[in-house]
Amino acid sequence: MEALNIFVKSIFIDNMIFAYFLGMCSYLAVSKTVKTAVGLGFAVIFVLGITVPINFLLENFVLAEGALTWVDESFATVDLSFLSFIMFIAVIASMVQLVEMVVEKFAPALYGALGIFLPLIAVNCAILGGSLFMQERQYTTIGDATVFGLGSGVGWLLAIVGIAAIREKIRYSNVPAPLRGLGITFIITGLMGIAFMAFMGIEL
Amino acid sequence: MSTETLEEKLPEVAEVPKEPLFSSKNKRLLTDPLDDDNPITVQVLGICSALAITVQVQQAVVMALSVVFVMFFGNIIISVLRDIIPSRIRIIVQLVVVASLVILVNEILKAFLPDISERLSVFVGLIITNCIIMGRFEAFAMGNKVFPSALDGIGNAMGYAWILVAVAIAREVFGSGAISFPGIGQIKFIPDGFFEFGYANNNLMILPPMALIVVGIIIWVQRSRNTKLIEEN
């Protein structure tokens, strides 16, 4: 039940785009057609689902204060958490590279679909944001952390597919010239965010 | 007197073939990103992470200064190293440089501004993946000398900072009616008389979606004034 709660919360209430504006750069750049938006969305779910649990292990067995006691009792006072930014980003960059190679080797069809988007993802704020929120919210088990990662990814997919569908249609509307393109996208995203606020306060 | 002026003139003579320190080209590096080439409203870089902290002006100012710091020193470091960095691993090198600078900023904030650091929570860390920083490294610092890179860093970070602070001012004034400054307390911007007539603070402004709409409006105003920025549909 706890896991389901985290999942629903990370999709609707703590949505990466609408509540925290994470991954806005790729959100704005790749949301011109639904097809590419879906591709990037799935790549984000995939990478979040892998990097959040790995960074969870890193945090709890290496970086946090007293996490190194499994090596030796004398490490109980060692606190490496100031290194977490650089460790997390290193894990993300190398995982993206690794995932890209594995997918290319074993699932060429998937690689064809995700291929161009995977390298872009290393610098997507939503990915690093997922790991940092995991660290801040102190999830207790690796299961919770994974569910949180996947849920955030699904929320991001929902947001980008939604805006891509709206942008495809808005091409036929008469938008005031200075608002065309970027401006109207921002305002629509804001309105979508207000709609998503209806989910606020849901507890399962 | 005369020897002094002679001495002062000598280095100038030697530097004639070089461009002056603040040539018009260098000035444009500083001023362009403020309007015509603004990182947020025109280049569409660096919106990530930044808008979440525009609820309060003081948070936005601290965030903006952090980005200016990271951008300035990051651009200098990358520009100094640009001939040594192998192009295949340049992304990792850039990430390491940004991450080290951000760790520095984060530790400084934790030590001197613990309250604000607490409220900024993960968003200081997210400066690492702020696209504007990597974008300027790739587009400018990798191919230019140190001094123009430093100017470009400051220019772009300032272009980003003013949007951030403008959004924060709009949200705090209309959301809370007053802006709180550290040490001074709250300064009211909406006169009390308004409230007697039934004016109410717009609590929606404090919620995240309004940041996007405020940016949308800033883009609208900017592009109405500067029509060459209008996009083809």
Residue-wise pLDDT tens digits, B54-64: 888 888 889 88
In angstroms, rounded to a whole number, what is the distance separating the alpha carbons of residues B166 and B215?
Answer: 9
Instruction: Report the alpha-carbon distance of residue B169 to residue B84 in Å, rounded.
Output: 43
Residue-level pLDDT at B7: 45
Task: Examine residue A204 and state whether it is found in any structural domain, yes or no.
Answer: no
Nearest to B128 by CA among A139, A117, A91, A16: A91
Question: Which chain B positions have a beta carbon within 8 Å of A85's beta carbon?
Answer: 99, 102-103, 106, 125, 128
Short-list A122, A63, A137, CA closest to A91: A122
Residue A164 has what pLDDT? Answer: 92
- Cβ-Cβ contacts under 8 Å for A144 (sequence gap 6 or more): A2, A3, A6
Res B6: pLDDT: 45
Taken in order A74, A78, A84, A87, the sign of the CA dihedral is negative
| Closest CA in chain B for residue A179 | B220
pTM: 0.81
Q: Is position A173 within any domain?
A: yes
Helix (H, G, I), strand (E, B) or coil at A76: coil
Splitting chain A (204 residues) into consecutive groups of 10 residues, what average pLDDT does each group show? Answer: 85 86 82 84 88 91 81 80 86 84 80 70 82 87 92 93 92 85 88 86 71
Query: Mean pLDDT across chain A, nearest whole number?
Result: 85
User: What are the CA-CA distances from residue A147 to residues A49, A94, A150 (Å)?
Assistant: 8, 22, 5
Condensed to tens digits (0 to 9), the pLDDT of residues B2-29 reads 444 444 444 444 444 455 666 777 777 7
User: Which residue, A32, A157, A180, is CA-closest to B216?
Assistant: A180
ipTM of the complex: 0.80
Low-confidence ranges of chain B (pLDDT < 70): 1-22, 48-50, 183, 232-233
**A71: left (phi > 0), else alpha (psi -120 to 50), else beta?**
alpha
Rounded Cα distance, A29 and A26, in Å = 5
Instruction: Count the domains in chain A.
Output: 1
pLDDT at position B51: 76
Contact B126 A128 (CB under 8 A): yes
**With contacts defined as CB-CB under 8 Å, which chain B residues touch A197?**
207, 209
At position B18, the amino acid (one-letter code) is K
CB contact under 8 A, A179 and B219: yes
Judge whether B48 and B126 are in contact, CB under 8 Å. yes
* pLDDT of B179: 81
CA closest to A200 among chain B residues: B207
Distance from CA of B143 to the nearest CA of A (A): 21
pLDDT reported for residue B13: 44
Residue A90 lies in a domain: yes
Interface residue B51 vs chain A (CB under 8 A):
yes
Q: Which residues contact B60 (CB under 8 A, 6 or more apart)?
A: B53, B54, B164, B165, B167, B168
Q: Report which of A12, A101, A6, A102 is spatially closest to residue A52, judged by C-alpha positions.
A: A6
Nearest to A180 among B95, B99, B231 (CB): B231
| Alpha-carbon span A189 to B80, nearest angstrom | 40
Domain with A14 in it: 2-199
- Which of B91, B215, B220 has its CB closest to that of A178? B220
Interchain contact, A181 vs B128, CB within 8 Å: no
Q: CA-based Rg of chain B, rounded to a whole angstrom? A: 21
A107 within some domain: yes
Among the partner-chain residues A127, A178, A187, the one whose CB lies closest to the CB of B213 is A187
- How many CB pairs (< 8 A) connect A and B? 151
- A192 within domain boundaries: yes
How far is B210 from A191, CA to CA, in rounded Å?
A: 8
Cβ within 8 Å, pair B48-A23: yes
Q: Do A191 and B47 touch (CB under 8 A)?
A: no
Query: Which of B46, B122, B129 has its CB closest to that of A133?
Result: B122
